[in-house]
Structure formats: C-alpha cells, structure tokens
Amino acid sequence: MTPFTIAVLPGDGIGPEVIAEAERVLEAVGERFKVKLALSRFPIGAVAVASAGDPLPAETRAAVQGADAVLLGAVGDPSLDKAPRHLRPETGLLALRALLGVYANLRPVTVYAVLADRSPLKPERLHGVDLLIVRELTGGLYYGEPRGRDETRAVNTLTYSAAEVERVARVAFEAARERRGLVTSVDKANVLEVSQLWRDVVTRVGRDYADVRLEHLYVDFAAMKLIAEPAAFDVILTENMFGDILSDEAAVLVGSLGLLPSASLGAGTGLFEPIHGSAPAIAGQGIANPLGAIASAAMLLRHGLRLAEPAAAIDRAIQAVLAEGYRTRDIAGPGDQSIGTKEMGERVVERLGEAMRPSPPPRSRSTPASRT
Ligand code: NAD
Ligand code: IPM
Ligand code: MN
C-alpha cells in the first residue's frame, strides 16, 4: 500500500511544540490502525524567512502541492511585526491557503462538558453548545486589491464574487444537512454592498436545501448572541474576517483557544491547523495546549484522508484524557495540577488504544489518576 503523504509545517512559536504532539498521535494511529502515513516537515513563517528569506519557500510550495494533506502549527513572530508584507509570516500562511485553494474553513466548536467550569459563561448557557463555523478563507479583505499604505493613508479592499460566495455557502448547507439543519449566515448587509450580495447569493443557494433552515444575522448581533445564547447556533456561515473574529470569540465557550481545530478545504489537498496562533509569550516553555493541534490531526484523517475510524478514535482519546482530569495550564482550574504539552500528547496516545474500542466508559473526573 502506498503511504499517505502528509506535509507537516510546524511554523513559529508554540507551533512546533503542539505539532510534535499531533505527529506523535498520528504515528500512533498509523501503527494501531495499520495505515501508512509518511510525515515530512517543511518550513513556513518566521522560521522560513530566517532560513530561506521567504515565508513560504519554493520547497514548501512544492511539498504541499504533492501531499495528500497538510498539517500546520502556527505562524507569527513579534520580531517581524514591522517587516514589509512579503517578509511577514502571516503572508506565508495566506499564500499557502491561496495556493491550495482552500476556500472553506471548518471550525467546529464543541464544548467538553468536563471543562464547563473553564468558561466564564454560566454552565446552563453552555448546555447543548455544538456549532460549526464555516469561514470563507481565500477572499474578502485579506486578499482584495488594491491594498497598501503610505505615511498618511491606507487602503484594503473588500470584494467577493457571487461564485466565491456560492461555493462556500454550499459547504455550509451540506454540513447543516448532516447536523441539526440550521445555517446562520452572518454579514453586515445593512451597510456593505458586499454583504448584500453575500445575503442574496446565500438565500438563492438555500433554495436548493429545502431541508435546511436559513437565517441571517448582522455580525454585531451575531457576536452578542454567540455569547448570550450559543446553543441556538448550528452552522455559522460567514466571510473571512468575520469568521476569524467570531471563531476566537467562540473559543471562550470551550474554555481555551488551545482546544479548537480547523480544516480548510477546497477542490484538492486540504490544510489542517489549530485556530490559535504562535502564542509568543508562552513559546519554548512546554506548556502550550496541544489538543487543538491533535484535534486538527483528527480532522486531517477524517476530511483529508477519509479515514473516519482513526479520526473518531483520536476524538474519543481527547475526551477520555480530559474526563480523567488532565489539564494543561490554560484549562487548569483552581487546585488542578497542570501537565505540559508533551505529557498531554503522551496521555492522548495512551488512551488511543482504549479509544479503539467504541464508546469507552470515561472515568470520572473525581479520580484524576496519578498525575505528576
Ligand atoms: P494567539 O492565538 O497566538 O494567542 C492568544 C492567546 O491565547 C495568548 O494568551 C496565548 O498564550 C493563548 N494561546 C494560544 N494558543 C494556545 C495554546 N495552544 N495553549 C495555551 N494557550 C494558548 O494570538 P495572538 O497573540 O493574537 O497572536 C500571536 C501571533 O500569532 C501573531 O504573530 C499572529 O499573527 C499569529 N497568529 C497566527 C495564527 C495562525 O498561524 N493560524 C493564528 C492566530 C494568530
Ligand atoms: C487564523 C489567523 C490568521 C487569519 C492570520 C495569522 C493570518 O488569525 O488562522 O485564524 O487571520 O486567518
Ligand atoms: Mn485568527
């Protein structure tokens, strides 16, 4: 059997730390499920600027285009915050998304019941929260031309074509069909022409999905409702920048940015990355939460390689480890002892064996095993 090739782009800051644990889990899954996965690393972001003078070097471009899936950590380095655009780490990530044509970014937001006390929201508000943000990823303000600045003026351009809106809308409606049958499209149609086009196109596409209910919200109210009544959402469909903002906001429901994964999909190779960034303040300390990266590896198996069983095993292992009370610092409560990035990865690998049996009985949080 030819192996699946996975291009691994660890990136900057905590990226390499969390990706090392995702790799550990993928390797364990490969062994246990007898799936051949060939993982190779390539530079992106600030490390690539340092080594090749380019945040997305030719070597990395070639590798991702030939891969079956791409796993990415995070990019970003404060030392390059004032660098010209072509030398910014974020430019490498945007170029990667454009190169792969991954226009639909799926950001599932699942509240782990055992972490309900880690959210500032009242537990009753979190009950039943299970939503999916479908963020348009290769258009909008991030990519619009003209763009630029001089000393006294700057410009960015928000533009979408009907075709760009339609293809991502279809992804959202298809997803809602498999879920609870509700799409909430988020825009600013009371002000922006682009949003008016967005709303018209989404409404038209929605007619093809009679079994899915469609509602439209303005982004300001959507941001409020996401905190006030998060269980009211199923699939949130929105443009690039609104989706970026709303997904970090949604992390508050779950308890930490470090928990949330994503899958970016188009016609070809998919890109899988946690939604968080390079977290420079905690980089190098071995304390970052790797579960978002590990859950992204699960999405890679599910959406990128169509390996649903091993993906589900990883998700169950994450649930089991959390149910046992293991916590990295970002999700540790008062009185909880925390474990490091590497140990969290190791715990997930240990539970993988158990998770291969369907529905393992999660141990109660009141018996937190022998944590060190
Ligand atoms: P960030 O996501 O890096 O960090 C925000 C906060 O969340 C910080 O307090 C950080 O310590 C915490 N955090 C993030 N991930 C964590 C994890 N896995 N475990 C524990 N805590 C975690 O966002 P920021 O500080 O706004 O940006 C830092 C850099 O990352 C910038 O250069 C930015 O451009 C970049 N960035 C990159 C990506 C990406 O590569 N996809 C995403 C967001 C930000
Ligand atoms: C994300 C990040 C990126 C984005 C940045 C680093 C370009 O915030 O993946 O959410 O805005 O898309
Ligand atoms: Mn973001």
Q: Considering only CA atoms, which residue is closest to atom 6 of ligand 2?
A: 90
pLDDT the model gives residue 357 = 56
Residues with a catalytic annotation lie at: 142, 188, 220, 244, 248
In this structure, whether the domain defined by 120-254 belongs to CATH 3.40.930.10 is answered with no
Amino acid letter, residue 147: R
Distance (Å, whole) CA 141 – CA 247: 17
Instruction: Evaluate: CB of 75 within 6 angstroms of ligand 1.
Output: yes
Instruction: Evaluate: CB of 47 within 6 angstroms of ligand 1.
Output: no
Query: What number is the average pLDDT over the span 256-272?
Result: 98
Return the domain boundaries, the chain.
Answer: 1-102+261-355, 120-254
Q: Considering only CA atoms, which residue is closest to atom 31 of ligand 1?
A: 76
Using 50, 70 and 90 to split pLDDT, how confident is the model at 356?
low
Instruction: Evaluate: CB of 258 within 6 angstroms of ligand 1.
Output: yes
pLDDT the model gives residue 308 = 97
Q: Are 298 and 226 in contact (CB under 8 A)?
A: no
Percentage of residues in the chain having pLDDT higher than 70: 95
pLDDT the model gives residue 1 = 75
* pLDDT tens, position by position, 195-234: 999 999 999 999 999 999 999 999 999 999 999 999 999 9
* pLDDT tens, position by position, 277-298: 999 999 999 999 999 999 999 9
Q: ∠93-94-95 over CA atoms, to 5°?
A: 90
Q: Considering only CA atoms, which residue is closest to atom 8 of ligand 2?
A: 244
State which residues have CB under 5 angstroms from ligand 3, the bound ion: 244
Mutate to test the pocket of ligand 1, among 17, 19, 75, 257 (most ligand atoms within 8 A of CB): 257
* pLDDT tens, position by position, 25-69: 999 999 999 999 999 999 999 999 999 999 999 999 999 999 999
Pocket of ligand 2 (CB under 6 A): 76, 90, 93-94, 244, 275, 277
Q: Considering only CA atoms, which residue is closest to atom 12 of ligand 2?
A: 244
Using 50, 70 and 90 to split pLDDT, how confident is the model at 5?
very high
For the chain, what is the mean pLDDT?
95
Q: Which range is least confidently modeled, 111-120, 189-198, 352-361?
A: 352-361
Quick one: 1-102+261-355 is in which CATH superfamily? Answer: Isopropylmalate Dehydrogenase (3.40.718.10)
Question: How many beta carbons lie within 10 A of that of residue 153, not counting itself?
Answer: 7
Using 50, 70 and 90 to split pLDDT, how confident is the model at 166?
very high
By DSSP bridging, strand 69-74 and strand 4-11 are: parallel
Beta bridge partners of 335: none
Let me know if the fold of 1-102+261-355 is the same as that of 120-254.
yes
Query: What number is the average pLDDT over the span 130-135?
Result: 98
